[in-house]
Amino acid sequence: MLASKKHFSISRMVYLAILTALVIILQLTGIGIRLPFLATPISLVLIPIALGAMLLGPAAGAFLGFLFGMIVFITCGVMGMDPLFTGILFANNPIMTALICLVKSTAAGFAAGWIYKILKKFNSILATFAAAAIVPILNTGLFILGCLMISDTIAANFVAEGSTVIYFLVIGCAGFNFIFEFLINIIFSPALHRIMEVVSKRLKF
């Protein structure tokens, strides 16, 4: 019994280490899908967050989401690597910028883990797709909600005359990126999750 628990614990640590490395690499290198009509590449970093939530539970999903948010906050906000958006938010509202970066992805990973855990009792396929879907939904939804709380900064720096903060956030900022990130996540996260489950069973890992 002790040996099996130790083996299970080691396998979880290995998975978490791999997914942690993926989050760091994907975010720091900016690897993503670039489309000519989008200003920013479509991020792939939500995939390892969803996988961690499904394979390892809500706590792991929250940790991976928190790690993603922390990297965004430090690199794009504090270090100013995104001077045209996150850097401006940080200069005007450092605390709210930190909360937006950290809360949205942490909550997304945590919620995905719980949704998967609950729905898996009824239907594992439904659980997988629901968990994969909630990550981009919450990540983007909480981002927009957080930005609305500092709408004065958004309006003063990004919104053109005659437009609105909501339009800028939903259409100009999140819009197409959210749609593609949502589609990518519900396609690749369940597929990769299934592959990792099969490999784990065959290797008894």
- CATH number corresponding to 11-30+39-203: 1.10.1760.20
Q: Locate the domains of the chain by residue range.
A: 11-30+39-203
Number of alpha helices (DSSP H) and beta strands (DSSP E) in the chain = 9, 2
Rounded CA gap, 95 and 62, in Å? Answer: 20
Q: Is the pLDDT of residue 118 over 70?
A: yes
**Coil, strand or helix at 37:** coil
Q: Which residues make Cβ contacts (< 8 Å) with residue 176, sequence separation at least 6?
A: 37, 38
Proportion of the chain above pLDDT 70, given as a percent: 87
- How many other β-carbons are positioned within 10 Å of the β-carbon of residue 198? 10
For residue 205, is pLDDT > 60? no
Q: What is the mean pLDDT of the chain?
A: 89
pLDDT above 60: residue 71: yes
Which whole number is the average pLDDT over 92-113?
97
pLDDT band at 2 (very low <50, low <70, confident <90, very high): very low
What average pLDDT does range 149-174 have in this prediction?
91
